[in-house]
Amino acid sequence: MRLMASELACIRGGRQVFHNLSFTLGAGNALVVTGPNGAGKSSLLRLVAGLVHPAAGQLALEGGNGELTIGEQAHYLGHQDALKTALSVQENLAFWVGFLGAGDAKVDAALAAVGLDGLAALPALYLSAGQRRRLSLARLVAVERPIWLLDEPTSALDVAAQGLLADLMRTHLTGGGLILAATHGPLGLAAAQELKLGATR
Amino acid sequence: MTALAAILMRDMRLAVRVGGGALIGVLFFLIVVTLVPFAIGPDLVLLARIGPAILWLGALLATLLALDRLIAMDQEDGSLDLILMAPVPLELALAAKALAHWLSTGLPLVVAAPLLGLLLNLDPAATGAVALTLAAGTPALTFIGLIGAALTVALRRGGLLLAILVLPLTIPVLIFGVAAANAAIVGPVPFGTPFTILCALTLISIVIGPFAAAVALRQGLD
């Protein structure tokens, strides 16, 4: 499986965020997107997710499921956690697992994988920022998708949780997955390609 | 199917939990209908004559009250991004959301209507007719409202614009809903004539609503 972008351009709110951006990402590889604030890291991830239309250029996935769009084969971990504060931790995850088409059986295992199994019945309102982030990560564990789009995945995570995230990412890459991550800090991935944004302007 | 059941169950749960909109709609309906006899005075004949119209107006406003939460809440917390990306067709996901919204806010209005009919001096037959027209017509209000909710989210405008967008579109539903209820009470038109058109309006909006809302959301992607 290979994700290829050629000469992408993105215009948001009338401002050109980036242009002439090309990269290729193969199976089992991670691409770390870096750059100053406003360089278009989040825009690039949203563009790959299909949430923003490219102003120019092509995005193609080789070896994926031809019936599905790239976004439908991807997990997007954005700045917002997509959690409902009125629902419990378990209900929040069970909804996304059910909605994204995986079996209910994986919910408890995924909560255990991110260390939230003791809080399953707690309303998400009472979670800390780091715990909310971990609950979002549990979605990536419970539902299999070949492409992970991670926007600042380490934000609000403590050192232990950052190690956990690095382990999850390594497991995903070993299984032939792709990771596209926007970050300011180190992710703990040894062999990651880097894409610097902001240099082209 | 499981995906649609999941979204239906989640929205129903959210509606009845703390901060949900289920009870607010019914309470608002109760207050609006209770205010009318105070405003008009204790003229029982007049109240009975305008009763169906008041119940319908109250139901229309109560439906509108919770509409701005229908999609905006999912946009605020990022859920909408994931719903847009999911393999489930957006049209079906929106239809499931609208159905959950009707079950949690529209259906209680239908159940409460007979009770409020007492306040407006409606006899049992008239009350039954109004409840039946509300049951047939309120889904149309929700599914028309779905279009407005999607448009306001796509345009990044709040709920105030929503009311102005949606209310004119609900005029046909209001006309035939009240006409059917009045036909059952005073005639001379047979009940079936306006009631059939009301049912047709509901069916049309159930078909068009999710598609139009999905188009609006996709156009508004940014």
Question: Does residue B82 sit at the A interface (CB-CB below 8 Å)?
Answer: yes
**pLDDT class for B139, splitting at 50, 70, 90?**
very high
Judge: A84–B83 Cβ closer than 8 Å, yes or no.
no
Query: Cβ contacts of residue A45 below 8 Å, gap of 6+?
Result: A33, A76, A78, A149, A150, A151, A180, A182
Task: Determine, for residues A95 and B88 on separate chains, whether the beta-carbon distance falls below 8 Å.
Answer: no
> Tokens 């229908």 identify what position?
B70
Quick check: is A61 in a domain? yes
Chain B residue numbers with beta carbons less than 8 Å from the beta carbon of A83 are 77
Give the gap in angstroms from C-alpha A100 to the nearest C-alpha of chain B: 6
Confidence category of residue B99, pLDDT binned at 50, 70, 90: very high
Of A53, A68, A82, the CB nearest to B78: A82
- For residue B5, count other CB atoms closer than 10 A to its CB: 12
* Mean per-residue pLDDT, B112-136: 87
**Has residue B121 got a pLDDT over 90?**
no
Half-sphere CA count of A59, side-chain side, radius 13 A: 20
Q: Are A7 and A22 in contact (CB under 8 A)?
A: yes
Q: Domain span at residue A192?
A: 2-196
Q: Is A99 in contact with B17 (Cβ distance < 8 A)?
A: no
Question: For position A200, what pLDDT does the model report?
Answer: 47
CA distance B124 to chain A (A): 40
The stretch B107-112 carries a mean pLDDT of 90
A31 found inside a domain: yes
The reply to whether A201 falls in a domain is no
At A201 the pLDDT is 45
Quick one: closest CA in B to A44, which residue? B222
Residue-wise pLDDT tens digits, B63-79: 888 888 888 888 888 88
For B222, nearest residue in chain A (alpha carbons): A52
Q: Going by C-beta distance under 8 Å and a sequence separation of 6 or more, which residues neighbour residue B98? A: B70, B142, B143, B145, B146, B209, B210
Supply the pLDDT for residue B134: 92
Q: Which residues in chain A touch residue B76, judged by CB atoms under 8 angstroms apart?
A: 80
pTM for this structure? 0.89
**Helix or strand run (H / E) with residue A155:** none
State the number of CA atoms in the 13 A half-sphere of B145 facing the CB: 31
| Per-residue model confidence (pLDDT) at position A86 | 85
A101 contacts B78? CB cut-off 8 A: no
Q: A62: left (phi > 0), else alpha (psi -120 to 50), else beta?
A: beta
The complex's ipTM works out to: 0.87
A74, closest residue in chain B (CA to CA): B85
Residues B196 and B202: their CA atoms lie apart, in Å, by: 10
The span from the CA of A75 to the CA of A143, in Å, is: 9
Task: Output the pLDDT for position A199.
Answer: 53
Q: Which amino acid is at B156?
A: R
Q: How many domains does chain A have?
A: 1
pLDDT in tens, chain A (201 residues): 888 888 888 888 888 888 888 888 888 888 888 888 888 888 888 888 888 888 888 888 888 777 888 888 889 988 888 888 888 888 888 888 888 887 777 888 888 888 888 888 888 888 888 888 888 888 888 888 889 999 888 888 888 888 888 888 888 888 888 888 888 877 777 777 888 887 544
Chain A environment of B220 (Cβ under 8 Å)? none
CB within 8 Å: B3 and A99: yes
Question: How far apart, in Å, are the Cα atoms of A11 and each of A4, A15, A36, B89?
Answer: 20, 5, 17, 27
Question: pLDDT value at position B140?
Answer: 93
Contact A43, A198 (CB under 8 A): no
User: The CATH number of the domain where A85 resides is what?
Assistant: 3.40.50.300
Write the pLDDT tens digit of every residue in B174-183: 999 988 888 8
Cα(A111)–Cα(A85) distance, integer angstroms: 17
Nearest CA in chain B to A103: B2
Q: How far is CA A92 from CA A96, A138, B16, B85, B180, in A?
A: 7, 10, 16, 18, 43
| Locus of tokens 């290829």 | A4
Find the closest chain A residue to B73 by CA distance: A84
- Is residue A23 situated within a structural domain? yes
Burial class (CB in 10 A: 0-12, 13-18, 19+), A198: middle
pLDDT band at B205 (very low <50, low <70, confident <90, very high): very high
Residue A71 three-state SS: helix
Domain boundaries defined on chain B: 2-219
User: What number of C-beta contacts closer than 8 Å exist between A and B?
Assistant: 81
CA A84 to chain centroid:
19
Q: What is the pLDDT of residues A109-156, one digit of tens each?
A: 888 888 888 888 888 888 888 888 888 888 888 888 889 999 888 888
Strand order across the beta sheet in which A30-34 lies: A74-77, A147-151, A178-182, A30-34, A192-196
Q: Are A74 and B70 in contact (CB under 8 A)?
A: no
From B32's Cα to the closest Cα of chain A, the distance in A is 29
Phi and psi torsions of A154, nearest 5°: -85, -5
- Give residue B157's pLDDT: 67
